[in-house]
Structure 1
Amino acid sequence: MIQEFKQFIARGNVIDLAVGIIIGAAFTAIVNSLVEDMINPILGLIIGGIDFTNLYFVMSGNVPDGASLEAARNSGAAIFAYGSFLMAVLNFLIIAWAVFLLVKAVNRVQTAALRKEEVKEEEPAGPSQEELLAQIRDLLAARPGA
């Protein structure tokens, strides 16, 4: 059983998956920071700081007017918190857009790097040193008075 476990762990797929999870966790931190620290403040300025999180209506029970969503939930009333759902959808769309832009930028960089490699491969090797010396010799020999 230990031998089978060693073979399982040593497979390339498992190691690739582990690397992917680790990179994904680091990438999540970058995307979250991008959204929370850069995009959301700009959107807040554009839409006037509107926060849909506290939008709800009471289906049954008593909740004081103007109470926050948390206070409404703590009151024990049955509430329909459509604002939280709207904010979750909005945050998803923002995060998806940010990831799309990041992936697009990475793809652009990779494409540019591949093009440079292709250009290097397609460049003609040119004449060798011996061929150049032979051409110079021939030119010197063909000069008048030589």
Structure 2
Amino acid sequence: MKKFVQEFKTFALRGNVMDMAIGVIIGGAFSSIVTSFTENLISPIIGMLGGANFDQYSVTLLGATFKYGAFLTTVVNFIIMAFVLFCMIKVVNRMTMLGKKSEPAAAPTTKTCPYCLSEINIKATRCPHCTSEQPTE
């Protein structure tokens, strides 16, 4: 049992797990911000166009009430969150690329024999496979 607890502690304190936990917590907080933004700013603006609050749109069929306005608000929340996350990831990827320098392509060390098409050392004057003289370039 002691080994199991030790393995779990090693797993739980590993960097990736902690990063993921922090990401989930921040994601939950961010979700609350986007939900508030949509419900308190976007929905009333859209509601002004329709004459009522967007969240209050509903239809009743056979005694059941379908709140399609609340569903559409949730869809708008998702679209806004997806767009913001997309933009954030693009910025982070661009920032990580700024520090990296592109490495120049390494000079070739081999060439192909024009007679037997074998790969040979670039400095070779004769092909070791067909013994033909290599043209000078």
Q: What TM-score range do you get, normalising by the shorter chain?
A: 0.5 to 0.7
Aligned AA for 2:88?
A: V
Matched, 1:23 2:7: no
Distance 1:89 1:45 in 2: 18
- Aligned identity (percent) is 31
Q: Which segments of 5 or more consecutive residues in structure 1 lack a partner in the other structure?
A: 60-78, 123-146
Residue in 1 that maps onto 2:106 = none
Where 1:56 maps in the other structure, the secondary structure is: strand
Q: Which segments of 5 or more consecutive residues in structure 2 lack a partner in the other structure?
A: 103-137
CA positional deviation for 1:117: 4.1
CA positional deviation for 1:101: 2.7
Matched, 1:52 2:52: no
CA positional deviation for 1:115: 6.0
CA positional deviation for 1:90: 0.4
Matched, 1:81 2:84: no
Q: Deviations over 1:17-62 (max 9, x none)?
A: 2112111111112111211122112111122115224x313x4xxx
Asked if 1 retains the 8 angstrom alpha-carbon contact of 2:34 and 2:80, the reply is yes
CA positional deviation for 1:98: 0.9
Distance 2:17 2:95 in 1: 29
How many residue pairs match? The answer is 97
Distance 1:13 1:116 in 2: 24
Residue in 1 that maps onto 2:38 = 35
Distance 2:8 2:97 in 1: 42
Question: Which has the larger share of helix?
Answer: 1
Distance 2:93 2:12 in 1: 33
Residue in 2 that maps onto 1:99 = 81
**How has the CA–CA distance of structure 1 residues 14 and 115 changed in structure 2, closer, same or farther, with 3 Å as cutoff?**
closer
Where 1:81 maps in the other structure, the secondary structure is: strand
**How has the CA–CA distance of structure 1 residues 102 and 9 changed in structure 2, closer, same or farther, with 3 Å as cutoff?**
same
Residue in 1 that maps onto 2:105 = none
The structure whose RCO (Cα within 8 Å, separation 6+) is larger is: 1
Aligned AA for 2:82?
A: F
Aligned AA for 1:36?
A: E
CA RMSD across the alignment: 2.5
